[in-house]
Amino acid sequence: LYAVLIYLLAAIVVPRGAWAFALAWCVGVELFQLTGLPAQWGSPWTLVFGSGFAWTDLVFYALGVALAAGADAARFRRSRRAVPSGSVGE
């Protein structure tokens, strides 16, 4: 869910390439946990940066970003097909 949230925030700021930004952010945060700083800083920073590295999180981040980007692309395709070709008010 963290990856989906980051994707949605990135899509607002940088619509093209939001998936790359979101994945880079999530991987960066996970690697930052290897320094031990987030755990030392304590709350509320552990809510943002987590407290411990887990390689499985990298897999789930990639999956979350991929699902969010896929859902976003599918929604965009559906909305483009739903636009009528006639003028407004016909």
Residues in the chain: 90
15, part of any domain: yes
Boundaries of domain holding 71: 2-81
Half-sphere exposure of residue 6: CA atoms within 13 angstroms, side-chain side = 23
90, part of any domain: no
88, part of any domain: no
Q: How many domains does the chain have?
A: 1
- For the segment 75-84, what is each residue's pLDDT rounded down to a tens digit? 877 766 655 5
Q: Widest CA span of the chain, in angstroms?
A: 64
Assigned token pair, 21: 């930004």
- For the segment 63-76, what is each residue's pLDDT rounded down to a tens digit? 999 999 999 999 87
71, part of any domain: yes
72, part of any domain: yes
86, part of any domain: no
Query: Which pLDDT does position 44 carry in this prediction?
Result: 85
- For the segment 7-35, what is each residue's pLDDT rounded down to a tens digit? 999 999 998 999 999 999 999 999 999 99
39, part of any domain: yes
H or E stretch at 46: helix 45-49
63, part of any domain: yes
